[in-house]
Amino acid sequence: MKKLTAILGVFLILSSFLFPLSGCSIDAGKAPARIVVPAEAADLMLGIKPNRVDVTIDISENSLAAIDFTVKLFQKSVSSKENSMISPLSVLCALAMVANGADGNTRTQMESTLGFSVEDLNLYIYAYMQSIASESDVIFNIANSIWFKDDALAVEREFLQLNADYYGAAINKAPFDDSTLKAINDWVNDNTNGMIKEILDGIPDDVVMYLVNAIVFDAEWQEKYNEDQVRLGTFTSITGAKRDVQMMYSTEGIYLYDGHATGFMKYYEGGRYAFAALLPNKGMSLDNYIKTLSGQGLYNTISNARYTTVYTSLPKFESEYDIEMCDILRSMGMRDAFGPGANFSKIDPSTGLCISSVKHKTFISVDERGTQAAAVTIIDMRTTSSGGPPAVYLDRPFVYMIIDCETNLPIFIGTVVDL
């Protein structure tokens, strides 16, 4: 069933991970994320171990930039024809790892699109991952890994070290055959608690590197729904069709209003995380409402929540979504990263690399007990010289030469501009 309004609320759960929480002094001795390393990959970590990172940062100082990225990415990723959900945090983590290998205009464009300098983004995400490490009432894990092809790249150690230090990234050198395909999919399955079984159905011959982020979230409601609070209700789809659904009714204590929509928040155990939903005002379509969102506006809506009694209903639902984000990120300003003009010399200065795919996949289930959600972002990188045979069609003005092949000297050189 199409439950776009409910999915919008789910987007706010995941974006709320990025909202300012509190200043924190980082315990640099903690591992920043759970890492599951598959046995099939060779030379695991390549002798690279995370260094101690001493960081004291108030994550609230930079959260607005992350929220702004969240809203912009959501606006460009949402579908009006099916349930949609993304994890901007997952995408941000994966792109941040790639950005550590970017230079020149490619790096500048990535920083502009992501809203951070690479250095600040490393600090922000590291601090954020550290801030969730001690949560006991909620399963919330962030894991990262880098996979590169045997003998295809001379990967710079500094690039790998940065991603090990700040992202806890598992470094895997692998043959990029069927065993690597299985290893990556097993890693995804393990790090999403089985909610996302696989992210790849094959490895193209010209792919030389994968950078992967996985996020898993599993939490029970602080106040669970009783049996008598769940009963048959009606949900009206975006096409106007009426759907019979299991609706969960409750009285909550936090009311949201932004001028274009009303909503509520419902806490998970521990109180750090909450489900948030916003229902567009009557007469305003969901598409038009999404266009009104901004990072600052969303931040203000949550910050200015009103503590009062609000009667609510929430449909039980389960949804999967996947999307390719290359064109979206191009439209957001990351133009050079996806073509021959890409500069990822800090990954391997001797090999031209570009991003060829940013695949994002999510899963969510919401019921009486609570919420389970998972996301995976996988970025593949290829050599800019790779691909099929070149094609040259002389169907517009061109230059021609007659060459002395002993000396490579052009004996004749000319142009054809008209025939």
- pLDDT digits over 240-257, tens only? 888 899 999 999 999 989
Instruction: Please state the rounded mean pLDDT for residues 30-35.
Output: 38
Token pair 């959600």: residue: 373
Instruction: Please state the rounded mean pLDDT for residues 143-158.
Output: 91
Confidence class for position 69, pLDDT limits 50, 70, 90: very high
C-alpha distances out from residue 152 to 60, 284, 382, Å: 41, 53, 10
| Residue at 315: amino acid letter | P
The confidence score (pLDDT) of residue 80 equals: 79
CB 132 within 8 A of CB 140: yes
**Per-residue pLDDT tens digits for 334-353:** 999 998 889 999 999 888 89
Q: Tell whether the torsion through CA atoms of 179, 172, 113 and 360 is positive or negative.
A: positive
Q: d(Cα 377, Cα 82) in Å, to the nearest integer?
A: 20
| Residue at 260: amino acid letter | H
3-state secondary structure of 350: coil
Enter the pTM of the model.
0.84
The confidence score (pLDDT) of residue 4 equals: 30
| Chain center to CA of 117 | 18
CB 249 within 8 A of CB 240: no
Query: How many C-beta neighbours within 10 Å does residue 154 have?
Result: 12
Burial state string for 323-348 with b = 16 or more CB within 10 A and e = fewer than 16:
bebbebbbebbbbbbbeeebbbbbbb
The confidence score (pLDDT) of residue 17 equals: 33
Token pair 């990556």: residue: 184
- Whether the predicted pLDDT of 197 surpasses 90: yes
Q: d(Cα 64, Cα 53) in Å, to the nearest integer?
A: 24
